[in-house]
């Protein structure tokens, strides 16, 4: 028995003692049947919560004993509505309905027994009708109050259970959202590292191979090639440090104080110049103010496209980067004269997939495919939906390298 059950039993025991004193005191010195049946009725109160079915049986036995032994009501009859209430509140629905049925039966049998004592007179019929109505009303009221209290407790329990379930689902949803965010962050960092490392190493390899041939023919120009290699490596190192700083601090890219500014539209001309002498840039319109995220996406698309030209286009391939700015979109097109569809895929590249994911984050469209005339074409359209957070400065209306 729990502490709560023990407290309830103590209360019911005290209630039974008090009611027992009330219902038995008037019959002290009277017939033994009055005391016995009253004690049986009162004893049912002690078990009304812990054993409601047994309490109903004991109360029924006591009430029937009084009905058979006496032709008038005893004070102990007050226990009947108390047991009906207790059965409706603490027993299951079937026991509660049984208690109601027995109580209503007693409300009919009791007045009938009492009316027979008077005889078949008008007064007896009036007393009978009043007795049946009063007793049945009390029994029915006790049942309805007990049932209402039981339903209230069940509703409260269900609301608490629903609240706990909602809380559990909310916690699970938060954990799932955090896990998805962690996966997205890892994918974003993986794309950044891929773009930085793949582009920088491709530029260094191309410049180094070209510099070796150039050093044999024009040694005086080798310094320029080595300077380009050093500049590319330095830039890549600084961007790698920025990414490592993000990983160590756990903050987002917008919150992190980086070693170098996040590249955007304004850095694209320098990117094209540094990548290769065979790459040219054409710009139509004036560059708008865009968000840092959108500017970085445009920069990475150009960077990855030029990286693919260096890796797959061939030694004689040329590239053309076209930027077109409209009132609603940033249009990017990178074409080359390289091998195009003739280049076999090793299945290990993530560049095009990364570009597609970047563009999709901004609600844009990416198209990448070999050109019918040879070479490859990457075309991206980025809508200007988000409010700009950083002014990246204007680009010249048209630049050709």
Alpha helices in 119-221 (DSSP H): 122-217
Q: pLDDT value at position 400?
A: 37
Report the alpha-carbon distance of residue 228 to residue 200 in Å, rounded.
11
Helix (H/G/I), strand (E/B), else coil: 381: strand
Identify which of 70, 79, 62 has the alpha carbon closest to the alpha carbon of residue 15: 79
Residue 254 structure tokens? 């917008």
Residue 275 structure tokens? 């990548």
Q: pLDDT value at position 118?
A: 67
Q: pLDDT value at position 307?
A: 85
Q: pLDDT value at position 59?
A: 92
Domains and CATH numbers, the chain: 3-166 (no CATH), 263-401 (3.30.565.10)
| Beta-bridge mates of residue 353 | none
Helix (H/G/I), strand (E/B), else coil: 280: strand
Q: pLDDT value at position 234?
A: 74
Q: pLDDT value at position 277?
A: 82
Q: pLDDT value at position 248?
A: 58
Q: pLDDT value at position 392?
A: 39
pTM above 0.85, yes or no: no
Q: pLDDT value at position 361?
A: 83
Q: pLDDT value at position 71?
A: 80
Sheet of 365-370: strand order equals: 279-284, 319-325, 329-336, 376-383, 365-370
Alpha-carbon distances of 47 from 5, 50, 56, 57, 250, rounded to whole Å: 11, 5, 9, 11, 62
Q: pLDDT value at position 343?
A: 58
Q: pLDDT value at position 256?
A: 45
Q: pLDDT value at position 381?
A: 94
Report the alpha-carbon distance of residue 113 to residue 124 in Å, rounded.
11
Report the alpha-carbon distance of residue 281 to residue 269 in Å, rounded.
7
Spatial neighbors of 397 by CB under 8 A, at least 6 apart, are: 283, 284, 285, 286
Residues of the chain with pLDDT under 50: 253-259, 346-348, 387-401
């Amino acid at each position: 028995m729990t502490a709560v059950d023990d407290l309830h039993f103590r209360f019911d025991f005290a209630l039974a003692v008090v009611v027992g004193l009330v219902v038995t005191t008037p019959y002290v010195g009277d017939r033994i049947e009055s005391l016995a049946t009253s004690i049986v009725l009162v004893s049912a109160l002690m078990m009304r919560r812990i054993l409601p079915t047994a309490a109903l049986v004991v109360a029924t036995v006591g009430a029937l004993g009084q009905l058979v032994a006496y032709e008038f009501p005893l004070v102990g009859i007050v226990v009947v509505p108390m047991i009906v209430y207790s059965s409706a509140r603490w027993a299951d629905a079937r026991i509660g309905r049984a208690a109601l049925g027995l109580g209503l039966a007693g409300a009919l049998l009791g007045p009938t027994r009492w009316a027979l004592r008077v005889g078949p007179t008008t007064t007896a019929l009036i007393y009978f009708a009043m007795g049946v109505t009063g007793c049945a009303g009390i029994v029915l009221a006790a049942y309805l109050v007990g049932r209402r209290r039981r339903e209230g407790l069940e509703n409260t329990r269900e609301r608490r259970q629903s609240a706990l379930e909602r809380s559990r689902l909310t916690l699970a949803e938060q954990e799932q959202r955090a896990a998805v965010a962690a996966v997205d962050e890892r994918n974003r960092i993986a794309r950044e590292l891929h773009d930085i490392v793949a582009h920088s190493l491709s530029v260094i390899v191309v410049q180094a191979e070209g510099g070796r041939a150039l050093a044999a023919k024009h040694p005086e120009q080798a310094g320029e090639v080595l300077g380009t290699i050093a500049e590319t490596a330095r830039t890549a190192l600084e961007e790698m440090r920025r990414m490592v700083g993000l990983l160590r601090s756990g903050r987002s890219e917008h919150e992190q104080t980086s070693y170098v500014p996040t590249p955007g539209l304004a850095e694209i001309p320098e990117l094209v110049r540094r990548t290769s002498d065979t790459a040219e840039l054409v710009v139509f319109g004036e560059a708008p103010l865009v968000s840092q995220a959108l500017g970085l996406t445009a920069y990475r698309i150009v960077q990855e496209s030029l990286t693919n030209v260096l890796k797959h286009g061939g030694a004689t391939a040329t590239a053309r980067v076209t930027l077109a700015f409209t009132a609603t979109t940033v249009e990017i097109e990178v074409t080359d004269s390289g091998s195009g569809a003739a280049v076999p895929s090793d299945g290990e590249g993530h560049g095009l997939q990364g570009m597609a994911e970047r563009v999709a984050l901004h609600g844009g469209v990416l198209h990448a495919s070999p050109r019918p005339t040879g070479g490859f074409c990457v075309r991206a359209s980025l809508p200007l939906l988000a409010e700009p957070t950083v002014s990246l400065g204007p680009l010249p209306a048209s630049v050709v390298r």
